[in-house]
Chain A
Amino acid sequence: MNYHWNWSIFLEQVKSGDETYLDWLLTGLGWTLALSLTAWALALTIGIVVGALRSTPSRLLVAIGNAWVELFRNIPLLVQMFLWFFVVPEFLPRDWSLWVKQEMPAKEFVTAALCLGFFTSARIAEQVRAGVGSLPRGQRDAALALGLTLPQAYRQVLLPQALRIVIPPLTSEFMNVFKNSSVAFAIGVLELTFQARQMQEDSEQGIETYLAVTLLYFICAFSANRGMAWIEARSRVPGLIARTN
């Protein structure tokens, strides 16, 4: 088989309109960034709370946290996308259900962001729990002995330390969010992978298309990595590594 290279394809107009293929890809990049960052913010918030719950002495809270993690870890992300998009609206009260199906703005985006956020939160929760668990027991005791309540002890003493410890695994989770956002193509979010498939069909220049998209994903992952490295450097505490009990 012969392949006809055409590197100027990106500047050509799409068959069905007056945009160029480059416009498609940039739109895709925009949605990928918006989706990944929204999901990440949601995932961090929920993941830290659930992870903290799982490290408390309360059996009930631990069980709730565990159920959360198992639920989101044991169903494929793609199936979760379908669940949020097609199934969850059916379980809402009638008025809400109608509103979600017919009127909700950016329905695909909102659904995908929730889905990816919850999915990632379970993985963050796992890291945060391990991080809190790795702290010496005395830190909790010392915080409580000063009269802090348990939530205060978490907020002021345990989580700030645990989060610093788990920055490396969180970095790879952050990079995963960008990769996983690609699954949102399946419910019609106009992100990079969606645009890649569309451009490949429309232009029949698959290799150029996928090369460009691969490069864009690379840039996303690399920026995510650098961003986290910056945070890690900024949050470094003098002398912290020297501490050994």
Chain B
Amino acid sequence: MIEIRNVSKWYGQTQVLANASTHVAKGEVVVVCGPSGSGKSTLIKCVNGLEPFTEGTITVDGVSVGDPKTDLPRLRARVGMVFQHFELFPHMSVEQNLALAQVKVLGRSKEEALARGAVLLDRVGLRDHATKFPGQLSGGQQQRVAIARALAMDPICLLFDEPTSALDPEMIGEVLDVMVELAQEGMTMMCVTHEMGFARKVARRVVFMDHGEIVEDAPTGAFFDAPASERAKTFLSRILRH
């Protein structure tokens, strides 16, 4: 589904991605982790072309992201993304947030879009909040709306960019529950996250990044039980101590 081959990226002199290669197969969940500044967020933003990259190729469902001829809006409409800071549109109600791209991009009718939105809101447990504005919701609720917004586009895969790291601890669970459910239903997911419990539970593989390189790309069990590199061991010991 997602193929990343030898991707490198420079900001001026500094290299933020170094020859990164990995893939996510259909129905697979892959967790990307690593210390801050390791390039994991940059990598995931390259997948739907929010960040341009200097070298290498990325294809999503056979479509090359870096190709200037690619219709990026059309590709992005099929790839859902969930952000660290939710990025709901604060001037729109929850149901408008869900309907906007369905109407403007997919060309659905307003009624159809609202109906589809209502189904997904119900699914993330927020049926009663449709007419509220994002500023009136808690962080966990906002992030669940953001997931519903991505799902409303009927995406072929979902990208998560640290979806729980801006949340208060007591709200992380409600968001992870939704993500686990999606994974168990067979959604293709690429998740940048430090939630190792989530990774153990649903990830097929874990990709560990440091300084812009992919240091390890291993099946979940192997990664946690016997990390091959020193860097991954140090990282895991730091993060699991909490």
Contact = CB atoms under 8 A, between A and B. Distances in A.
A243 B50 contact: no
B33 to A, nearest CB: 21
A146 B135 contact: no
A238 B133 contact: yes
B111 to A, nearest CB: 19
Interface string B144-180: 0000011001000001000000100000000000000
A41 B85 CA distance: 36
Interface residues of A, number: 26
Interface string B104-116: 1110000000000
A138 interface: yes
B63 to A, nearest CB: 13
Among the interface residues A146, A160, A245, which one has the most CB atoms of the partner chain B within 10 A?
A146
- Which interface class (under 10, 10 to 19, 20 to 34, 35 or more) fits B? 35 or more
Given A138-B83, A152-B104, A241 B153 contact: no
A107 interface: no
A141 B133 contact: no
B81 A142 contact: yes
A239 B135 contact: yes
B73 A139 contact: no
Given A156-B100, A239-B135, A242-B135, A161 B87 contact: no
B48 interface: yes
A147 to B, nearest CB: 3
B48 to A, nearest CB: 6
Nearest to A152: B104
A149 B134 CA distance: 23
A142 B135 contact: no
A146 B159 CA distance: 12
Interface string A218-245: 0000000000000000000111111101
A156 B73 CA distance: 15
Contacts of B136: 238-239, 242
A139 B89 contact: yes
B18 interface: no
Contacts of A237: 90-91, 133, 135
B73 A148 contact: yes
Contacts of B78: 147
Contacts of B23: none
Contacts of B74: 147
16 contacts: A139-B87, A141-B45, A141-B81, A142-B83, A142-B88, A145-B48, A145-B79, A146-B100, A147-B106, A148-B105, A149-B73, A156-B104, A157-B89, A161-B90, A240-B133, A242-B136
Interface of B: 45, 48, 50, 72-81, 83-85, 87-91, 100-101, 104-106, 132-137, 149-150, 153, 159, 166
Interface of A: 136, 138-139, 141-149, 152, 156-157, 160-161, 164, 237-243, 245
Closest 9 CB pairs of A and B: A239-B135, A147-B77, A142-B87, A146-B101, A239-B136, A145-B81, A147-B105, A138-B87, A147-B76
